[in-house]
């Protein structure tokens, strides 16, 4: 892929990822999600404030943003489309233009979600969008990270702890299952970013003030 193609992929993926799903869903219910609950625009806060249905919807759409960004990149460029049958073979996994172009798509969709240009470059924490992007890039790593998330969540009932564990498990698995160095480094960078976005949660965990997840709504929108 030429440099211009990488730039187009990055901009397109960022704009797709920047769709503020949680904010829009809550606003449709007359709620500014940035002012209630944890004040985060992610699926967890939407679940807590608005309930199961809106929370699951936001989770799925946020994950789709990452997945679609990678899928569209494959289909938009003929040179990537020609390599599509080889994506999950040794040749496909080690093809630098293919893996780097797809990695850029995943990376910028997550950056768009975390730092959306539509809301002052403030957004979510990127866990669902990262999962969606890597479902297309490295599905085995996503499966391992999901299992790690479930085990951590069931053990602690802290979404933040489960997300941090998954943020470590995913790049670790990518490192051992994906031979492409660029994709490995992107996964590590995204894992670090995800943990950084949880810095307030980490501080509350240390202070013993972090809330455990409750499957019932804690607040009712007004």
Q: What is the pLDDT of residue 214?
A: 77
Quick one: pLDDT at residue 93? Answer: 45
- Quote the pLDDT of residue 183: 86
Q: Measure CA of the first residue to CA of the last residue in the chain; give whole Å.
A: 50
Sequence-distant contacts of 136-140: CB under 8 A, at least 24 apart: 136/66, 136/67, 136/70, 136/71, 136/102, 136/106, 137/70, 137/102, 137/103, 137/106, 137/183, 138/173, 138/174, 138/177, 138/178, 138/183, 138/187, 140/173, 140/177
Confidence of residue 213 (pLDDT cuts 50, 70, 90): confident
pLDDT of 92 strictly over 50: no
- Tens-digit pLDDT profile for residues 140-183: 999 999 999 999 999 999 999 999 999 999 999 999 998 888 88
- pLDDT of 125 > 80? The answer is yes
206's CB contacts (< 8 A; 6+ apart) are: none
Give the mean model confidence (pLDDT) for residues 80-109. Answer: 63
């Amino acid at each position: 892929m030429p440099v211009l193609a990488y730039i187009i992929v990055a901009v397109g993926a960022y704009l797709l990822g920047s769709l503020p799903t949680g904010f829009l869903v809550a606003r449709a219910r007359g709620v500014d999600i940035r002012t209630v609950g944890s004040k985060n625009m992610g699926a967890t806060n939407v679940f807590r404030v608005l309930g199961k249905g809106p929370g699951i919807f936001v989770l799925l759409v946020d994950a789709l943003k990452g997945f679609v960004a990678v899928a569209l990149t494959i289909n938009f460029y003929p040179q990537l489309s020609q390599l599509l049958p080889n994506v999950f073979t040794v040749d496909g996994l080690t093809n630098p233009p293919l893996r780097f172009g797809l990695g850029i798509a995943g990376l910028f969709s997550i950056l768009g979600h975390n730092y959306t240009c539509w809301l002052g470059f403030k957004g979510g924490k990127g866990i669902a969008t990262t999962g969606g992007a890597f479902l297309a890039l490295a599905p085995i790593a996503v499966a391992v990270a999901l299992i790690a998330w479930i085990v951590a969540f069931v053990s602690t009932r802290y979404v933040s702890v489960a997300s941090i564990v998954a943020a470590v498990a995913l790049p670790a698995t990518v490192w051992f299952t994906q031979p492409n160095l660029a994709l490995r480094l992107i996964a590590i960078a995204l894992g670090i970013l995800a943990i950084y976005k949880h810095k307030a949660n980490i501080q509350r965990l240390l202070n013993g003030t972090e809330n455990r997840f409750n499957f019932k709504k804690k607040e009712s929108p007004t």
